[in-house]
Each structure stands twice: as C-alpha cells, then as structure tokens.
Amino acid sequence: MLIPYIRSSGLGSYEICQQKFFLIYNLGLKEKSGFGADSGTSVHKSLELLAQKKLAQQKGETSIENEIFDVPFPIDLLTYDKAFELGWQFCKKTMSHHKEWDCPDTKEKYKKMYDEFLCFDKGSYNPLNLHIIQPEQYFDIEFKEDWARYQYTIGKDKFEGFLSVKGTMDLIFDNDGYLSGMDYKTGKTRINWATGRIKQLEDFKSDKQLMLYSYAINKLFNVDEFSIIIYYLQAGGPFEVYFDKQTLKKAEGMIKDYFYKINSNSKPFLAANSSNPYNKNKCRWCDFNKVRPEIHKNKTVCRTFEEKIINLGMDKVIERHIDKDRVFSYNSGGGRGLTDKKE
C-alpha cells in the first residue's frame, strides 16, 4: 500500500479494516459521514469559537476570524448560547443532507451535552477558563530519515519523499505551568472497536491517536513532558495521560512499525471477513459497505475493490483509480467523492 503520510484516524481505520484504509488513503475515496459524527462536529466548532474568544481576550483583541464568518466577529457578542447556535447552524448548512438537524429534541440533546461540558468540575475544562495557546492545532511533520523515505511509481508518474504525520488537535493550552493538549469525543461510547473493550485510563497510555499527538506536540513546542486529555462528552468525561521522553520514543517506534507494515501490505483484509464480531459490527455504519451505482450496480464499494485487487493486483488498481492530488496532498482530511469509473 501507499503511505506518504499517517493520520491518527488512518491508524484506527487500518486496525479495524485495512480495505477502508486502502480506499481512503490509497485511492482518495471519501466516506460519507453519519449524523452522529457531523452533529459532534458542531459541538467541536462551538468549543473552537470559545477558545478563539479566550485567545483574543488574552491578546487584547476585540474580534475573531473563522470560516463561519464573512467578516471578523466581535467577541463581546459571542456568548455560550451564541457559540452553540453558530456551530449548529454552520454544520447544518454545510452538511445539509441530514434531516436530523431540524429535530428540536436532537438539538436540545447536543446543547445539553455542550452545557454539561462547560460546567463540569466547576468549569475546569471550559475554554474561557483556560490559558489558550492554540485552538485547532494543525500539524504536518516530516521524518527526514532514511527509513521514512518512500518512492512510488504510478503509471508514468513518480512520487518520492519522506513519511509525514498529519492531524489536528482540538486544543492546546497552558495547564498550570505545563503544556496540555485536549481532544473532544462526542460519541456515545469509548469502546475500542478492534477489541470490543471499553477503554480505561491504562489503555490511553498506549492509544495510537494520543501517541501520534504526543509526537506532534514534542516537535511543535519542543517540550519533553506534557499531558494530553481526551474528553468523552457522553462516555465518561476526561482522561489525562502524561508523556515524557520514554513515551516519545515509543511513539516514534510505533510510527516506524506502521510505516513498514502498511508499505508492505498488498492484500488488505476487510472487516466484513473478520472473525472479530466488533470489527464486523462497524460494517453496519460504513459508507463503503453500500452499493454505489457509479462504482458497481449491485456490489458494495469494498467488495468491488476486493475483487479488483484479486483480479488485477493492487498496483494496477491504484494506477486505474487513484486520485493522485488527494492521496499525495491530503491536507485537511476527506477524499474525493465516490465517482470511480464503472467497469
């Protein structure tokens, strides 16, 4: 498989369904997200606005800029309720295919989740009560080492470079003298879908997403000791994990192992073929486990490409179906729509 970069969400996909990883990160296909994920994004957006407000206050500024606004927005108008409404309406507009946006009970449910987060532990995690360093911290960090070099030939085109890690952390803040990152989770459970177990604090110490974030924080801020908080708004609240030089070495080792593992994989397995019931359970919600007429008239996307790989080989499938711009310049996530050629 191709692996010019690693994202935290990509590692999760690979663990559960290698075929899904292949479709997204090797062909550039985009999975349509469900309402649960998109409504959760609205809460993320609202909390991002509050963090931007606090950062502006720290700098003595009176307005903020965001993709939501056409012009800078005055922070004195950005109340808690206003931030929620702006986040909800923005996501409703940009992800308008969900009917659930117009359900009052659904909106009230997410508003309650948002309010409870802001008030938890006397507002200890409320962005307006923190010293903000950076909301929505994007990172794109390249490994300039021999082991991380890649070279791919796809048709007449050649691609070469070094593996990079990419992603976005929801928030970076000063936590009483040391650096902390925070990641919001709005799902109903904190289950590890690869194992079926509910994640506990010990599990987060080796969590792949947090290890990737730890590597990024170390490189971005040049700190060896810091913490990352993963906050489950519906499934248990905050879990804080501390990182140091030893755990950073483990993170580098993990990234290197995945680079080798994915690079050498020419036959991705499907979660649907797994004996693990928790893996197979994810297929129920996966957009690639649906028939798309533009892909194939009666087979799911994942089964269609499973057959193509068997019949043609992975290299030929990539050559015929890859969106090169998406795969090699994957800045903010996503992928192209399911507009593959019929056969």
Kindly report, residue by residue over 189-215, the tens digit of the pLDDT: 887 766 778 888 888 888 888 999 999
Instruction: Note whether residue 4 is domain-resident.
Output: no
Report CA torsion sign: 292, 296, 300, 301.
Answer: negative
Question: Would residue 324 count as lying in a domain?
Answer: yes
Q: Which domain holds residue 125?
A: 35-129
In a domain, 90, yes or no: yes
Q: Is residue 303 domain-resident?
A: yes
The answer to whether residue 136 sits within a structural domain is no
Question: How far is residue 133's CA from residue 46's CA, in Å, rounded to a whole number?
Answer: 17
Q: Quick one: 47 and 118 in the same domain?
A: yes
Write down which residue in 82, 111, 129 finishes a domain.
129
Same domain (yes/no): 23, 78: no
Same domain assignment for residues 63 and 28: no
Q: Which two tokens stand for residue 301?
A: 């996307």
The tally of domains found in the chain comes to: 2
| Domain edge (last residue) among 75, 97, 129 | 129
- Do 56 and 76 fall into the same domain? yes
With cut-offs at 50, 70 and 90, classify the pLDDT of residue 331: low
Residues 20 and 100 in one domain: no
- Residue 83, pLDDT score: 98
Least Cα distance to 78 among 49, 100, 58 occurs for 49
User: What does the pLDDT average to over 276-293?
Assistant: 78
> Does 243 reside within a domain?
no
Q: Name 277's Cβ contacts closer than 8 Å, sequence gap at least 6.
A: 196
The pLDDT of residue 341 is 33
Q: Does the structure show a pLDDT above 60 at 337? A: no
Q: Do 41 and 122 lie in a common domain?
A: yes
Distance CA 300, CA 167 (A): 29
Are residue 42 and residue 27 in the same domain, yes or no?
A: no
pTM of the model: 0.88
Task: Decide if 31 contacts 20 (C-beta within 8 A).
Answer: yes
The verdict on residue 224 lying in a domain is no
Distance CA 4, CA 259 (A): 9
Considering the domain boundaries, does residue 277 fall inside one? Answer: yes
* Same domain as 52, residue 23: no
Dihedral pair phi/psi, residue 239, rounded to 5°: -130, 120
CA distance 238 to 181: 12
Contact 150/160 with Cβ under 8 angstroms? yes
Last residue of one domain, picked from the residues 100, 129, 158: 129
Residues 6+ apart with CB under 8 A from 25: 1, 2, 3, 7, 10, 13, 327, 330
**Rounded Cα–Cα distance for residues 229 and 12 (Å):** 18
| Contact predicate 257/219, CB 8 Å | no
